[in-house]
Amino acid sequence: MTALANLTRSLSPSSIAPFINKLMENYKTRRPMYISVILFFGIYLIFNKITRVPARLRHIPQAKFFPYLKSIISFESYDETASKITLPASKKSKEGLYVVFDAYGWTVHVTRPEAAKKVLFKTDLFPKISTGDRRETLFGRFAMGPSLPFLNGPQWKAQRKVANPAFHRSMPINLFGELTQKLFNQYDKMLDKPIPFHELMIRWTLDAIGIAGFDFDFNAIDDPTSVWVVRYNTIMKAFSNPLFVVFPSLETRWISLFPKQKQAHVELTAFLNNIQEIIKKKRETLANEELSGATTKKQNDRDLLTLMLEASAEGNGTLTDEELQYNLCAFFTGGHDTTSNQLSFAAYNLAANPEIQEKAREEAIRLLGDEPKDIIPSADQLREMPYINMFIKENLRHNGTATMVFARKTEEDTDLEGVFIPKDTPVVVDLYEIHHNESIWTNPFKFDPERFVPGGEADQLAKMGSTWLPFGNGQRICIGMNFSLAEQRVFLPMLLRKYELSLPENSIHKDKVVMNGYGVVSPKDLQITLKRRY
């Protein structure tokens, strides 16, 4: 070290100049070689960073990089990825933690309820991660702005204060029932062959969230080719591409290489412009109503946008048009995409388990009668369906649409169940892995609504921590949970009273449901055979 210091002190600008000049001459004559060397080392450094776990996280078991990457880019069904890669990685330690390189870089994943409870309840220690450059991705532009799912601290509390009254007042049960009757009309036109159940559920929930969310009728049930339905479906399909979910930079920096994704951005721009126009008109309508003293709808039937604007007028806070737009789009994710997937999984589980289907049907008939006509359940009746509610909970566990919660990031050095987690580490709670962990649930891959009988397995497991998490938990639990559950509680008994469900003989789902997607999953090309009961 001393010799090196002496050599450095002996150097002067005049002595270095010849060396610099010689280096520049070599660069001019050997430029291609220099560039190749720089590119090689650049690629090597990036490759090394991506494929090697950082030293600060090497004490945690790793989900192997290349098998995980292969699973993602080959669009493998998420349950296959879990069974082959993530669940085995989680079993390498009693704490159930593992690390993997995902959309947030090297991330700690949580698969045990004790650690999950700490992550979800200690929001000061585990705040939502910054969306960063994901704001320019398709999903980022759609929902990752200043909205409830992504804000922290005082900003989140201010928006929650406005949104809470809206969700408590909005429970459009009659709307859900009327849309279900409308959907049945479409079913009845297709009974000679298996119907595209998931496609129709997408249309049903799109109309539901459009009308209940901001009083806009997509008319998706009756006209699946309308410009707004096609536009919205294009956007949703592009969201579910796992390649862009795991590697957002492909979309933000290399979008020109992916023309379909680029076109989806064009469609999204038009969709967001429409939302802004709706917000503007809604403000004008409410202002006119205030002047005239007239209202057109009952409180329960007023859309969420109206109720949020009314909550602001009552002194609960104020949301800008931009904040309203992002929140409405976030509600779309919970009120449309996830609910349509969840109801499709429910139809699959009814068709695949005839004895469970019959038991649920008996309860629907006992509650609503067996008169040969459609009956819309009342708000009181929605609370009097113990077995159907058990079925819904098991469906959310066994085939939950969300496979993980939005990422958090450690605010300071901490530990999870005794495992050190450094500051600024992304942390994700794996919902699918918790719901299918053999060390938590008995025979977790079996569909069994009886788990949720009062005092049964689910109630006992709740003492361990967060074991049933389809909507998250803690302060940040999904604000649309009751809205989604109401949709399911209205639709399912009406469906069971009118139709018997079965899987077609050639169904790709004969052995188990085949999934699409990564963070949000859906059944792939789900066809269901329906037989009318009246």
Domains in the chain, number: 1
Kindly report the CATH number assigned to the domain that includes residue 441.
Answer: 1.10.630.10
Query: Minimum mean pLDDT among 181-190, 223-232, 283-292, 314-323: which range?
Result: 283-292
Structural domain includes residue 407: yes
Q: Please, which pLDDT band fits residue 518 given cuts at 50, 70 and 90?
A: confident
The answer to whether the beta carbons of residues 449 and 99 sit under 8 Å apart is no
Q: What's the per-residue H, E or C state across 414-434?
A: EEECCEEECCCCEEEEEHHHH
In Å, what is the CA distance from 181 to each residue of 207, 278, 388? 13, 27, 20
pLDDT beyond 50 at 149: yes
pLDDT beyond 80 at 242: no
Structural domain includes residue 14: no
Residues 6+ apart with CB under 8 A from 188: 532
| Whole-angstrom distance, CA of residue 523 vs CA of residue 527 | 10
Structural domain includes residue 53: no
- The pLDDT of 192-211, averaged and rounded, is 94
Q: Please, which pLDDT band fits residue 333 given cuts at 50, 70 and 90?
A: confident
Q: Given this model, what pLDDT does residue 4 score?
A: 40
Q: Given this model, what pLDDT does residue 50 score?
A: 67
pLDDT beyond 50 at 9: no
Q: Which residue has the higher pLDDT, 203 or 285?
A: 203
Structural domain includes residue 205: yes
- What residue spans of 312-385 are helical by DSSP H? 321-332, 338-352, 354-368
Q: Given this model, what pLDDT does residue 456 score?
A: 95
Average pLDDT, the chain: 87
Percent of the chain whose pLDDT exceeds 90: 55
Q: Given this model, what pLDDT does residue 244 score?
A: 80
pLDDT single digits (tens) 405-431: 989 999 999 999 999 999 999 999 999
Please give the structure tokens belonging to residue 346.
Answer: 């429910």
Q: SS3 of 303, please?
A: coil
Nearest to 79 by CA among 516, 529, 534: 516
- The pLDDT of 480-486, averaged and rounded, is 90
| Whole-angstrom distance, CA of residue 302 vs CA of residue 299 | 5
Q: Please, which pLDDT band fits residue 480 given cuts at 50, 70 and 90?
A: confident
Q: Please, which pLDDT band fits residue 523 given cuts at 50, 70 and 90?
A: very high
Buried b (16+ CB within 10 A) or exposed e, 41-62: eeeeeeeeeeeebeeebeebbb
Query: For residue 318, which amino acid is it?
Result: T
pLDDT beyond 50 at 5: no
Phi-psi region of 116 (alpha: psi -120 to 50; beta: other; left: phi over 0): alpha
Query: Minimum mean pLDDT among 21-35, 95-109, 228-242, 476-490: which range?
Result: 21-35
pLDDT beyond 70 at 501: yes
Give the range of the structural domain holding residue 223, as residue numbers without chain letter: 64-532
Burial environment of residue 219 by CB neighbours within 10 A (0 to 12, 13 to 18, 19 or more): middle
Q: Which residues pair with 128 in a beta bridge?
A: 408
Q: What is the pTM of this model?
A: 0.86
Q: Given this model, what pLDDT does residue 3 score?
A: 42
For β-strands 426-429 and 105-110, DSSP reports them as: parallel
| Whole-angstrom distance, CA of residue 23 vs CA of residue 44 | 24
Q: Which long-range contacts (CB under 8 A, 24 or more apart) does 314-318 make?
A: 314/165, 316/161, 316/162, 316/165, 317/158, 317/159, 317/161, 317/162, 318/162
pLDDT single digits (tens) 64-116: 888 988 888 788 899 999 999 999 999 998 999 999 998 888 999 999 999 99
Structural domain includes residue 27: no
pLDDT beyond 80 at 369: yes
| Whole-angstrom distance, CA of residue 224 vs CA of residue 205 | 13
Q: Which residue has the higher pLDDT, 304 or 183?
A: 183
Residue pointed to by tokens 């397995």: 457
For β-strands 527-532 and 195-196, DSSP reports them as: antiparallel
Q: Which residue has the higher pLDDT, 439 or 37?
A: 439
pLDDT beyond 90 at 236: no
pLDDT beyond 90 at 27: no
Q: Which residues pair with 409 in a beta bridge?
A: 426
Binding-site annotation: residue ranges: 478
- The pLDDT of 188-213, averaged and rounded, is 94
Q: Given this model, what pLDDT does residue 39 score?
A: 52
The answer to whether the beta carbons of residues 404 and 432 sit under 8 Å apart is yes
Q: Please, which pLDDT band fits residue 168 given cuts at 50, 70 and 90?
A: confident
| Whole-angstrom distance, CA of residue 114 vs CA of residue 429 | 11
Q: Given this model, what pLDDT does residue 214 score?
A: 86
The answer to whether the beta carbons of residues 162 and 146 sit under 8 Å apart is no
Structural domain includes residue 79: yes
Q: Given this model, what pLDDT does residue 100 score?
A: 94
Q: Which residue has the higher pLDDT, 10 or 392?
A: 392
- Torsions phi, psi for 444 (to 5 deg): -65, -20
Residue pointed to by tokens 């680029």: 262
Query: Minimum mean pLDDT among 6-10, 246-250, 275-279, 473-477: which range?
Result: 6-10
Burial environment of residue 266 by CB neighbours within 10 A (0 to 12, 13 to 18, 19 or more): exposed
Q: Distance between the two ends of the chain, CA-based, in angstroms?
A: 92
Structural domain includes residue 59: no
- The pLDDT of 474-501, averaged and rounded, is 94
pLDDT beyond 60 at 367: yes
Cα 68 from chain centroid? Answer: 20
pLDDT beyond 80 at 147: yes
Structural domain includes residue 152: yes
Q: Given this model, what pLDDT does residue 238 score?
A: 85
Q: Given this model, what pLDDT does residue 7 score?
A: 39
Q: Which residue has the higher pLDDT, 294 or 467?
A: 467
Binding-site annotation: residue ranges for heme: 478
- The pLDDT of 349-362, averaged and rounded, is 98
Buried b (16+ CB within 10 A) or exposed e, 326-342: bbbbbbbbbbbbbbbbb
- The pLDDT of 316-325, averaged and rounded, is 86
| Whole-angstrom distance, CA of residue 79 vs CA of residue 375 | 37
Please give the structure tokens belonging to residue 257.
Answer: 């290489």
Please give the structure tokens belonging to residue 338.
Answer: 């996830």
The answer to whether the beta carbons of residues 112 and 419 sit under 8 Å apart is no
Buried b (16+ CB within 10 A) or exposed e, 448-458: bbebbeeeebb
Q: Given this model, what pLDDT does residue 298 score?
A: 57
pLDDT beyond 90 at 386: yes
68, containing H or E segment:
helix 65-73
In Å, what is the CA distance from 158 to each residue of 31, 326, 341, 368, 477? 57, 15, 31, 41, 16
CA pseudo-torsion sign 248, 253, 259, 261: positive
